[in-house]
Structure 1
Amino acid sequence: MIFFSVNVAVLVVASVLITSGIVMGNLAFRAGLGVKRWTMIGLILGPVGYPLFNTHKRFAMKRAVGSRASTIRL
C-alpha cells in the first residue's frame, strides 16, 4: 500500500477544488448563469456542487420558458 505524505494529499485536494471551480465556471458560462458565483461554489464545494448546479440550471430554464412549455434538447 502506498502512503502519501500530507503535502501530497493537500496538493491533490487543492488541484481537485481548482479544477472543479474552473469546470463549474465554464458550465455556468455556457448555461447563462452567474460565472463568479458558480466558480466560487466549485472552489468551495468541489464536485459536490455539481448536482446543485444542475438543479439550479433546470429551475432557471423552467423559470425562463414557463412551467407549461416544452423544450427540445439536442
Structure 2
Amino acid sequence: MLFSVFIACVLLSGFVMGKLAFEAGLGVKRWAIVGFMLGPMGYPLFNVHKRFAIKRAVGQFTSTITL
C-alpha cells in the first residue's frame, strides 16, 4: 500500500514537472526525468533553475513584474 502511494506520487510529480517545464520553456524531458527520480523534492530545484533562466534571458540588473 505505501509503496503504491510512493509510485503514484513519483509518477504524478514527473508529469507535473514536465508540464511546468513546457510552460516555462525549459527542457521537458530533462525535468520530467528529474521529477521521476526525485519526486516532489525536485520542485525547489526547478524553481531555482527557472528563476536563473529568466534572469539570464532578461538581464542581470533588470526587474520583472509578474502577476
TM-score (norm 2): 0.96
**Structure 1: segments with no counterpart, 5+ residues:** 1-7
Is 1:61 paired with 2:54? yes
Task: Measure the CA separation in 2 of the matches of 1:71 and 1:35.
Answer: 24
Identity %: 61
Residue 30 of structure 1 deviates from its aligned partner by: 0.5
Q: How many residues align?
A: 67
Which of 1 and 2 has higher RCO (CA within 8 Å, sep 6+)? 2
Residue 10 of structure 1 deviates from its aligned partner by: 1.4
Structure number, greater radius of gyration: 1
Corresponding residue number in structure 1 for 2:32: 39
RMSD of aligned Cα (Å): 0.6
Where 1:72 maps in the other structure, the secondary structure is coil
Is 1:12 paired with 2:10? no
Task: Measure the CA separation in 2 of the matches of 1:66 and 1:22.
Answer: 30
Q: Which runs of 4+ in 1 moved over 6 A?
A: none
1:53 is aligned with what amino acid?
Answer: F
TM-score (norm 1): 0.88
Task: Measure the CA separation in 1 of the matches of 2:22 and 2:62.
Answer: 24
